[in-house]
Structure 1
Amino acid sequence: MSESIPRPAVALSACIEGIGYWSRGLPDWNAARAYALGQGEIVADAPARPSPQLLAANERRRAPETVAVALEVALAACQAAGRDPASLSSVFASSHGDMQITDYMCATLASEPRTISPTRFHNSVHNAAAGYWTIGAGAMRPATALSALQASFAQGLIEALSQIATGEDAVLLVGYDGGSQGPLAQVSHSRGLLGGALVLSRARAGVPVLRAWLAGPAADAAPGRLARHDADNASAPMLPLFEALAARHDRVALPAGAGRSLWMELSHD
């Protein structure tokens, strides 16, 4: 971003210890980073959905794809950071949760309410991914699930940074969304399947450091390759940060709601 950054009165900061990423055709952070830099292409034989190894086989089959992608990137970020997943507090940010299940629930309740699936019902809540994560990881640490439409990832990042500022040693942040269908797709458009995760900590040498603060909106910028690949996904607003991490850029802004942006400076060791 070439525009000048409004300087903060107060900033939050954290180290970025680990990164996880999954999108159709870009099944991990290495593939996504190479693609973002123009050094790689879409992986033609990549799976259509993740298979998170944190869950037992029967749970992997039953989990909706939004849960699968959230857990896939969450575990990848923890592994990259060398952190025990059970030791981390977590923040899960999704614009819509699972809109395909929401559409099913609404349609079934309107037509044949007695046939509602108990499995789909318990997967319909917005904290489903956080719940699967805490069970699969054996995590007894606090887990937060939030939604703020296109500002979801930025607000999730603010929450994670605030937890670090108030005493947490490290926090896992996960952003994810799937596709919409039915009448909901006309008002809450989303396509594809996308997840990104960061393990943020108070202090660690040799990893990127992020400083963030709220200020006025950023000017529109040309989207990078990751943003163009998943432009129609509801979690696409988080992608400029991942592109900045891939390209080692030193500044980026994400939409934070109410006409503001979450501005960030990045230093790369």
Structure 2
Amino acid sequence: MKNKQKLIKFEQKIYSKSLKIEIDNQIENSMKEEQLQTLKIISQNNEGLMPQKNKLIKSELEPIGLYNLSLEKSINIQTIKSWIEIYLGLEVKILNLQLALYYEKNDFYIYDIDHNQTYKLEKDDKDIINVLSIFKVMIRVKPKNIQSFIVIVDQDIYDPYQPEANILGRAGNQKVCVVQVQTELNDFYSTIVHELLHTLGFGHCKDQDCLMYANISTSMQLCQKHLQKLSSKKEVEELKRYKALLHISKQIGFHNECQKLEKLIKKVETQKDTLLQII
């Protein structure tokens, strides 16, 4: 009798355990299905988000477009390209646009060879070109795979909103800027990066020793505030950047600027040494 009772209890225990296992399996399977469904939803959402993410990253890495629209003067476009890349730390692409600036019957024109399109530029009675009329053409021909577009011209330009101002360059809408060739190389190369920085969202600076000063700056370098802003767009290794700028400045012939850069390099190196000693 006792053995029979034990057997019944044992069978009940087995049944109970089997039932529990079955229930656990059902719960587990149900949870797995829910997890799989959740993962599927996340995956679908990610697929929808990924193109936007990639597009954003791609946009951040798009190069700066550079084009020489000079009519008469010869310029070293490769040196300008190197200068911009070192200064901003961003890739620069010399654009292979088929454009020609020419002067005919007292008027300036831009001829788009690829599209057989001629654009008449506005000018004043002194044959100075309205920079806004150049903007209009450049916005039309600007490639889609660049973030900013800089055009070099060798003719005098003016801004109709500041007709009396002797401008060296201007940044306009759609991240396009125009810079006029200057015999003073410091002014020319400073203006190139100054106007490009405007297209990248940089405003003017109150510091006279900053390149982004509203008038002609006393320096070709950025103040610490604007240098940090540049670093936020693409990480800048300060010492490496200054050394590269010193190298190209020597090539171009920025003698005064070379002395300033040497001082900056020494200052950064001293700061690094001090930090290492503290650590």
TM-score with structure 1 setting the length = 0.25
Greater fraction of residues in strand: 1
Between the two structures, name the one with larger relative contact order (CA 8 Å, sep ≥ 6).
Answer: 1
Greater fraction of residues in helix: 2
Please identify the structure whose Cα radius of gyration is greater.
Answer: 2
